[in-house]
Amino acid sequence: MLMKDILPDIIFKTPSVTELKSKLYKDKRIGVSMLRLDEIHPVISGNKIFKLYYFLDEAGNSSHKKIITFGGVFSNHLAATAFACRGMNLKSMGIVRGEKPAILSHTLQFCLDHGMELQFISRGDYKRANEKEFLDGLKKQHGECILIPEGGFSIKGKEGAALITQTFDSSSFTHVCMAVGTATTFAGIIDGSRDECEIIGFSVLKNMHDIHKRLLALEVNPSKKYSFMADYHFGGYAKKTNELISFMNGFYLQNNIPLDFVYTAKMMFGVNDLVQKNYFPPGSNILCVHTGGLQGNQSLPEGTLVF
């Protein structure tokens, strides 16, 4: 049972590439476009379904019909896993970092609504959740199952993310930009892109000093060209400033494209800042990957965004 048979509208709908119009780009004589992975599905938009691809494929082809994975209360990864498992008739369980909150986040409620069983564990235990002892305990408790690391961070997750590069024609782009959380998507796009292309990752985390270790762990092809921008995190994961929010509103008014404040807005802000600073030589043609995540905006007070 292949995922393309089960979820045909998700992964095989070719996302569009939209050219972004701006006087700044024109002045600098560069082209900037956006790969609209946010369009591939209204609910589980973006990169997450790609990272899950080979895990779901394995589940569909094996007798282990339960997927267990990990995430925080706002995890897009948990939501995508719940949704995909429901679509493929697989059981799913999410191990959630921290105590159970009195009111569930939109994300966790979505997971429950899609049949995901949730187990809350303390932050201390969560830190040990990747250790063999903990994982063996899970298998004892739940029987043989497919375990997906947090955020899909794994070689298999990377290989799924590399499929993103098959959704657009890369021959015309000199740079591909994206937001970086676990770096799984970054690694996949680095591996999947042609050698001449520079892949630029924008960290959404503060103090992400282990990027090279991460890419090494994911066995990224060392001959590829990539850069990593650590200074566009706006205070850290899911942190925001008024400047970021007004950037998102301005971007929407100009391009009619919604961004999310946790990931894609920080990437796009960073791209524009680099353009301003002449990072990109004239003639560059830049592709920015919209990795989705728009449901994250639901946690903002009403009226914050114009879209």
Ligand X SMILES: *Cc1c(COP(=O)(O)O)cnc(C)c1O
Closest approach of ligand X to the CB of residue 58, in Å:
19
Residue closer to ligand X by CB (options 48, 97) is 48
20: helix, strand or coil: coil
Alpha carbon of residue 258 to chain centroid:
16
How many beta carbons lie within 10 A of that of residue 160, not counting itself?
27
Which residue's structure tokens are 């899911």?
Answer: 238
Residue closer to ligand X by CB (options 30, 268) is 268
Check: CB of residue 10 under 8 Å from CB of residue 22: no
Residues of 131-149 as b/e, b for ≥16 C-beta within 10 angstroms? eeeeeeebeeebeebbbbb
Closest approach of ligand X to the CB of residue 178, in Å:
7
Closest approach of ligand X to the CB of residue 44, in Å:
10
Residue closer to ligand X by CB (options 191, 260) is 260
Residue closer to ligand X by CB (options 28, 162) is 162
Residue closer to ligand X by CB (options 173, 202) is 202
Q: Which residues bind ligand X (CB under 6 A)?
A: 46-48, 76, 151, 179-186, 260, 263-264, 291-293
- Rounded CA-CA distance 152/214 in Å is 13
Closest approach of ligand X to the CB of residue 258, in Å:
11
Closest approach of ligand X to the CB of residue 52, in Å:
11
Which residues are 116's β-sheet partners? 92
Task: Please give the residue whose beta carbon sits closest to ligand X in the complex.
Answer: 293
Closest approach of ligand X to the CB of residue 99, in Å:
23
Residue closer to ligand X by CB (options 31, 46) is 46
The DSSP string of 115-165 is TEEEEEE-HHHHHTTTSHHHHHHHHHHH-S-EEE-GGG-SHHHHHHHHGGG
